[in-house]
Amino acid sequence: MLPTSLASLHSNIAPSPSVSPFPTISFYPSYSSYSSCLSLPQSSFHSHGLRSYSVFGDTHLKVNLNAKGLKVNCSISEPLKVMISGAPASGKGTQCKLIVQKFGLVHISTGDLLRAEVSAGTEIGNKAKEFMKAGSLVPDEIVTAMVTARLSREDAKEKGWLLDGYPRSFTQAESLEKVQIRPDIYIVLDVPDEILIDRCVGRRLDSVTGKIYHVKNFPPETEEIKARLVTRPDDTEEKVKSRLEIYKQNSQAISSTYSNIMNKIDGNRPKEVVFKEIDLLLSQVQQDKVNKTKLEKVYTKNHSGQASVSQDKWRGIPTRLNNIPHSREIRKYFYDDVLLATKRSVNDGKTRLKVEINIPELNPEMDVYRIGTLMELARVLALSFADDGKRVKVCVQGSMGEGALAGMPLQLAGTRKILEFMDWGDYGAMGTFINIGSIGSKEVDEQDDMFILVAPQNAVGNCIIDDLKGMTDAAGQRPVILINPRLKDLPGSSGIMQTMGRDKRLEYAASFQICYFFRLLYYAGTQYPIMGALRMS
């Protein structure tokens, strides 16, 4: 008889031809689809202690679920698409010109669109003109229609686009989302209020040439030009403060929509320095789009339902898992498997992830637990993300408690030193793109892009979850990846469970999404022989 979970799975899934020659139960979910493969041979066999039995014969099982999500994530396989936002006088116009010069994007400003549509006398322009004559704001649906029409032109499709200062409100962002207009990156120029006010109040307009000057930062070249400069009506301190307040309210309202792809940049620096950072970001996004497209081609099925090249060559899970230590080939299989699953999740915009893998070398409940294998897995992940330009902090928990209570889980003793003495390559990754730290909010630095936490776990009488939560709160929307966490409550020194806030701790621990899961199956109450495996990637 099948176990209940497998029986219910089998009753709801229609089989199709197998692509796997190996006896495993394995799952391959993503956030857009969920497929499972259960492929066991007709007869049982032994291979170094690994046994498997036929369940359904050779079958390939597939389930598709509708993806659900509220946040916008980076799109793929298309030209670069950028949104930029900034308060009045933040330098947005200057950066837009530099971006267009470097990347050749089509620059789209709603103000320019409105003027062009009105001047051309189009249907949308005439509607907008009526509101403008009445001194009213042009409704969001009209502006969105103009933006959509402009983005549908061939030049924007071929070259990519730079949407300047739009959307300005949550309603506008929602309107764009409804018509599936999504950026690859959302850039926000961040400048202190006092600097913005000074820039606006000191700004002067040349009434003849239309050129903008500043009385201190960019004075006119001649006395003749100086004599004809005028102050724009909306550049008084009172009006500037009012505009800033409106901008802040609107920007906060739309930040949740684009939080996964938002990058704040310090705009209170020379324009060349600001653009250098923007240039690096956009170049990285371009490379990520290429990499993600490659991953999609390798790890998804085409519309006809035929297996991809990678599935055709899939060799199944290694059989000799009872050989300790594992061979280099087996370790590499799992390192690569975990890496690809983790990268896909990060590229999908997931920020709270966990990897759970209990092959014998990494299962602390067995008689063999090789911490070096776990460190090697952390190194593979960190170096790969560093190759993509990410600044990664690899963390292990430090001593918890004080005095007689000081200590850490025995399995983690010395791991910080192991990480520090490992070979991190010849290209200076360590100290530049990779740093070693401890678990806690104080370890989160502004320059860190993501965090890999090695085996965070509670010790008897001490709970790591408070430090862990402080760290994820400080990290904000930056990815935090837990490798083999053990976050169940343990008894205190008195033998009583730590009940204070226990529900909240367990709820927090469950908030991390599994991006990779591998578990061996045994007979109940035993750890031998291995009967099969569950794999979710």
The first and second tokens of residue 479, run together, are 């990815």
Q: At what angle do helices 110-120 and 123-133 cross, to 10 degrees?
A: 110
CB 436 within 8 Å of CB 448: no
Pairwise CA distance, residues 165 & 109, whole Å:
7
Cβ contact 186:83 at 8 Å: yes
β-strand pairing of 480-483 with 352-357? parallel
Closest of 437, 330, 333, 329 to residue 382, by C-alpha: 437
Question: What does 365-403 look like in DSSP terms, one character per residue?
Answer: TSS---HHHHHHHHHHHHHHHHHTT--EEEEE---BSSG
Q: What is the DSSP string of 161-203?
A: EEEES---SHHHHHHHHHTT---SEEEEEE--HHHHHHHHHTE
Q: How many CB atoms lie within 10 A of CB 70?
A: 7
Decide: residue 177, CB within 10 A, 0-12 exposed, 13-18 middle, 19+ buried: middle
Distances (CA, A) of 29 to 89, 238, 300, 490, 535: 46, 55, 11, 31, 10
Handedness of CA 267, 270, 274, 277 (dihedral sign): negative
Catalytic residue list contains 182: no
Of 132, 139, 103, nearest to 115 by C-alpha is 132
**201 vs 195: CA distance, rounded Å:** 10
Q: Where are the beta strands (DSSP E) in 245-308?
A: 262-266
- Give the C-alpha separation, 35 to 301, whole Å: 10
455 contacts 412 by C-beta, under 8 angstroms: yes
411 and 371 in contact (C-beta within 8 Å)? yes
Which of 31, 77, 19 lies closest to 308, judged by CA?
Answer: 19
- Chain centroid to Cα 411, Å, comes to 30
Active site residue 232: yes
The single residue of 92, 199, 350, 354 carrying the catalytic annotation is 92
Residue 168 falls in the annotated catalytic set? yes
Q: Which of 81, 150, 203, 393 is catalytic?
A: 203
Is the peptide bond prior to 456 cis by the omega test (within 30 degrees of 0)? no
Q: Which of 226, 241, 243, 269 is catalytic?
A: 243
Instruction: Round to whole Å and give the CA distance between 130 and 363.
Output: 70
Structure tokens at 471: 């760290």
Q: Which of 97, 102, 232, 271 is catalytic?
A: 232
Distance between alpha carbon 257 and the CA centroid of its chain, in Å? 14
Residue type at position 282 = L
Instruction: Clarify whether 203 is annotated catalytic.
Output: yes
Pairing of strands 513-521, 532-536: antiparallel
Phi, psi at residue 224, to the nearest 5°?
A: -60, -45
* Residues labelled catalytic: 92, 168, 203, 232, 243
